[in-house]
Amino acid sequence: MEYTIKTEQDVSIFINDINPYGKKTIFFVHGWPLSHRAFEYQFNVLPKMGFRCIGMDTRGFGNSSKPFWGYDYNRLAEDVRCVIDTMKLRNFVLAGHSMGGATVIRYMSRFNGYGVSKLALFAAAAPSLTMRPDFPYGLPKEEITKIIQSVYNNRPQMLLDTAPMFFHNPITKALSDWFFQLGFEAASWATAECAKTFRDESLFTDLPRIQVPTLILHGIHDRVCLFPLAEAMKRGIRNSRLVPFEHSGHSLFFEEKNKFNMELVRFAE
């Protein structure tokens, strides 16, 4: 089932609700600069195992509205809350990849984990994607600033340059084209504003507020959200478990899809 949910007067969020009568619900929030379709290799498998899979396109991306505002973590988390309230979701697994992982962490902190029984983080951009004086594990802020500038100057080239960073092994032209297609569906301003958010915002104080069992899946070769971020999340979130993916970069749900699906199913059941 596909439909939209209004979260502000002029903002509608696209939802793909797969197997709505499944035994257990997993709500997926995608990362930058993609859409819910990045999880197709989960949506192909998990519904057959009895799971209800909900994918949303965050504002500015995929088939959702593309306003010129509202790309900080607080507003993105509020969109998630609107979807949860409208769909009356309870006792479900909330899952996020990359910036989507940061968004769901902010949701858990801002709304006290309302309705969520378990949290799953995939290569999450937390507690800080960029290096800080007291956190030397992220990317230099200058690298993100260059990406933002390239969005404004030549977004197609930025997407072509960024695609290989998401994968551990060299990628085919077909895979690069797939990444490009998903990324180019987004609004350019949303792509830039979200990059400003994960460059400038952090979630150090959000982590201790998470009270539910948490699964952290992270590729050890991740060049976007470096593996020490996963270790920092493990230290900061009580009752969390970290599973390293030895053959993956940032797109572990594609590069080791069988292991990824197995770990997620085992956790969600």
In the set 79, 222, 240, 248, the catalytic residue is: 222
In the set 98, 128, 150, 248, the catalytic residue is: 98
8 Å CB contact between 217 and 263: yes
Helix axes 73-87, 99-110, angle to 10 degrees: 70
In the set 168, 202, 250, 251, the catalytic residue is: 250
To the query of whether residue 221 is one of the catalytic residues in this protein, the response is no
d(CA 151, CA 19): 36
d(CA 146, CA 153): 10
On the question of a cis peptide bond just before residue 127, with omega within 30 degrees of 0, the verdict is: yes
To the query of whether residue 98 is one of the catalytic residues in this protein, the response is yes
To the query of whether residue 117 is one of the catalytic residues in this protein, the response is no
Beta strands in the chain (DSSP E): 2-8, 11-18, 24-29, 51-56, 92-97, 116-122, 214-219, 240-245
CA of residue 199 relative to chain centroid, distance = 15
Query: What are the two backbone dihedrals, phi and then psi, of residue 159, each rounded to the nearest 5 degrees?
Result: -65, -40
Residue type at 251? S
d(CA 72, CA 244): 29
Q: Which amino acids are annotated catalytic? A: 98, 222, 250
